[in-house]
Amino acid sequence: MAADLFKTDPAFRALVDRASQRVGRDLEQLCQAGPQRELARTQYLQPLLVCVALGYLRHLTGAGLTPAMVLGHSLGEIAALAASGIVGFETAVDMAAKRGELMEAVAMEAAGGMIAVTGPDREALLRLQARSFPAAQLVLANDNAPNQLVFSGATTVLDQWAGLVAAEKLGHCRRLAVAGPWHSPLMAPAREQFSLWLETIEFQAPRVPLVFNVTGSTENNPQGIRELVARSLVEPVRWRQAMASLLALPEVSFFEIGPGRVLSGLARANGFGEKTRIFNINNLRGLEMAARVC
């Protein structure tokens, strides 16, 4: 991950150095040499992923490609805050480090996780959830697409849920490789502490519109933005709603910045067809290709 940035980009390495100082671990060494189990720890992975996204973003905008609108899925919203001008790059890295620290601490006490369900009848899934579990025991964490929902809860509850979905033939279940029950009430202690910490951060009005996870819509008031960022730890990512707001635009090109292609797939699942151009910016070569096309 980000091998080309580590080799060629001093500004990126400075961001990673800052993140390393915040978490007390050499994140460059961890990213390039592992071990994988340490790299996957929330307190290390979150600031590192934000560094990577911002590293490629800086090259994208340096090539003259500036966004008309930005959004980020879950942790990606922290990088999106910087892309929109609400906070600076360094502040976004600090936020990711604090967020990861608090989330990992809570996850160590709450034995839980997340499970994705892909199926054609979302309403039937939600009815099954509502009648099978108390409101806070199993919660919708990511409303990703019409055919994909992600649920959070305790490990035993997720096992029960997978069995029910299979018995009712309502879809395919897949446990996600995450360390805790993100975007659920179980993360309330992290949300409370993160909210207090965010009061020390100066937020600006966005220079570029940002579609927020919690509402699936934009927000311009800095204090309102601060509250939305904290709420996202315990409330669902409303990605389907965010995508729906973009479907109304006459023409859209997407640039997915960071490792992987998950959001590109979700764009297609939310109705953006083959005529919509989607560029995956996860290395400098892909960025150069996108710049030539655009």
Q: What is the CATH number of the domain that holds 167?
A: 3.30.70.250
pLDDT recorded at residue 248? 83
Q: Which two tokens stand for residue 40?
A: 């996957």
Residue 86 and residue 7 share a domain:
yes
Task: Give the catalytic positions in this structure.
Answer: 74, 183
- Among residues 143, 175, 207, the one where a domain terminates is 175
Q: How confident is the model at residue 259 (pLDDT cuts 50, 70, 90)?
A: confident
- Listed residue (203, 223, 177) closest to 82, CA to CA: 203
Q: Are residues 98 and 198 in the same domain?
A: yes
Please indicate, yes or no, whether residues 150 and 124 belong to a single structural domain of this protein: yes
In whole angstroms, give the CA distance from residue 172 to residue 115.
10
Q: What is the DSSP letter of 218?
A: B
Tell me: pLDDT of 294 over 80. Answer: no
Whether pLDDT at 288 is above 90: no
Residues 70, 208 contacting (CB under 8 angstroms): yes
- How buried is residue 246: exposed, middle or buried, by Cβ count under 10 Å (0-12/13-18/19+)? middle
Question: Of 132, 157, 175, which one is at a domain's C-terminal end?
Answer: 175
Q: What percent of the chain has pLDDT over 70?
A: 100
Please compute the mean of the pLDDT values over residues 180-198 and round it to a whole number: 97
Strand (E) or helix (H) holding 33? helix 27-33
Q: What are phi and psi of 150, to 5 degrees?
A: -120, 135
Amino acid 57: pLDDT: 96
pTM: 0.95
Question: Is position 261 within any domain?
Answer: no
Domain residues for the domain of 124 are 111-175
Rounded Cα distance between 63 and 23, Å, is 32
